[in-house]
Amino acid sequence: MFDDLEMSCNQCEQTQGTGCRVEGVCGKLPEVAALQDLLTYTVRGLSHWATAARAAGVGDPAADRFTMQALFATLTNVDFDPERLETLIRRATAFRDELRAAAGSAWAAAPADGAATFEPAADLNSLIFQGAALGLPVDRTRPKDIQALQELTLYGLRGVAAYADHAAILGQEDSEVYAFVQETLTKTLDVSLDFEDWMALALETGKTNLRAMELLDAGNTGTYGHPVPTQVSLGHAAGPAVLISGHDLKDLENLLAQTEGRGVTVYSHGEMLPTHGYPGFKKYAHYHGHYGTAWQNQQTEFAEFPGAILLTTNCLMPPKDEYADRLFTTGLVAFPGVPHVHRDDFGPLIERALALPGFPEAAEAGSVWVGYARNTILQDHPMGSVKDTLLAYMKAGTIRRFILVGGCDGDKPGRNYYTDFVEKAPADTVILTLACGKYRFFDKDLGAIDGVPRLVDIGQCNDAYSAIRIAQALAEARGEGLNDLPLSLVLSWYEQKAVAILLTLFHLGMKDIRLGPTLPVFFTPKVLEILTERFGLKQVTTPEDDLAAILSV
The CATH code of the domain that includes 246 is 3.40.50.2030
Q: What is the 3-state secondary structure (H, E, C) of 82-129?
A: HHHHHHHHHHHHHHHHHHHHHHHHHHHHCCCCHHHCCCCCCCHHHHHH
**Whole-angstrom Cα Rg for the chain:** 23
- Domain shared by 489 and 507, yes or no: yes
Residues 295 and 392 in one domain: no
286 has pLDDT over 70: yes
**Domain that includes residue 404, residue range:** 384-551
- pLDDT digit string, tens, across residues 356-374: 999 999 999 999 999 999 9
Do 262 and 217 sit in the same domain of this protein?
no
Q: Which parts of 309-412 fold into alpha helices (H)? A: 347-355, 374-378, 386-396
* 399 in the same domain as 342: no
Q: What is the pLDDT at residue 411?
A: 82
Type of residue at 427: A
Cα separation values, 398 from 264, 271, 390, 394, 425, Å: 46, 32, 9, 6, 15
| Vertex 384 angle, CA 379 and 389, to 5° | 90
How many domains does the structure of the chain reveal?
Answer: 3
Together in a domain, 82 and 176 = yes
Mean local confidence (pLDDT), 72-85: 97
**Separation of first and last alpha carbons in the chain:** 58
- Specify whether 110 is located in the same domain as 251: no
* 317 and 240 together in one domain: yes
Residue 496 lies in a domain: yes
Kindly tell me if the per-residue pLDDT of 312 is higher than 80. yes
Same domain, 419 and 546: yes
Shared domain check, 218 and 234: no
Q: Answer yes or no: is pLDDT of 383 > 80.
A: no
Which string of DSSP letters, residue by residue, matches 24-85? -TTS--HHHHHHHHHHHHHHHHHHHHHHHHHHTT---HHHHHHHHHHHHTTSTTSB--HHHH
Mean pLDDT over 237-259 rounds to 97
- Give yes or no: residues 212 and 255 share one domain: no
Taking phi first (over 0 means left), then psi (-120 to 50 degrees means alpha), and beta for anything else, what does residue 392 get? alpha
Contact (Cβ atoms closer than 8 angstroms) between residue 103 and residue 52: yes
Length, in residues, of the chain: 553
Residue 110 forms part of a structural domain: yes
Q: Classify residue 2: in a domain, yes or no.
A: no
At residue 449, what are phi and psi to the nearest 5 degrees? -115, 100
Q: Taking the complete model, does pTM exceed 0.85, yes or no?
A: yes
Pairing of strands 448-449, 452-453: antiparallel
Q: Specify whether the backbone of 135 is left (phi greater than 0), alpha (psi in -120 to 50) or beta.
A: left
Residue 111 has pLDDT above 60, yes or no: no
Asked if the structure places residue 22 within a domain, the reply is: no
- Whole-angstrom CA distances from 284 to 141, 244, 368, 393 are 56, 15, 19, 38
| Least confident window among 40-49, 319-328, 382-391, 470-479 | 382-391
Give the residue-averaged pLDDT of 22-26.
Answer: 88
pLDDT of residue 386: 85
Q: Peptide bond preceding 240: is omega within 30 degrees of 0, i.e. cis?
A: no
Same domain, 515 and 433: yes
Q: Which CATH number covers residue 52?
A: 1.20.1270.20
Residue 348 · residue 259 · CB < 8 Å: no
pLDDT at residue 299, rounded to an integer:
95
State the pLDDT at residue 325. Answer: 95
End residue of a domain, out of 189, 222, 255? 222
**Single residue among 205, 222, 239 that ends a domain in this structure:** 222
Both 408 and 472 in a single domain? yes
Among 206, 222, 238, identify where a domain stops. Answer: 222
Q: Where is average pLDDT lowest: 53-57, 67-71, 144-148, 335-339?
A: 53-57
Share of the chain above pLDDT 90, in %: 87
Residue 2 is predicted with a pLDDT of 62
H/E stretch holding 458 reads strand 455-459
Taking 90 as the threshold, does the pLDDT of residue 8 lie above it?
no
CA distance 310 to 425: 36
Q: Is 457 a member of any domain?
A: yes
Is residue 379 included in any domain, yes or no? no
**Does any domain span residue 371?**
no
Cα–Cα distance, 459 to 36 (Å, whole number) = 30
Measure the CA–CA gap between 17 and 484, rounded to whole angstroms.
Answer: 36
**Residue 451: what pLDDT?**
84
Dist. CA 306–CA 117, nearest whole Å: 50
Mean pLDDT of the chain: 94
In a domain, 308, yes or no: yes
What sign does the dihedral 149-155-161-167 (CA atoms) show? negative
pLDDT band at 1 (very low <50, low <70, confident <90, very high): low
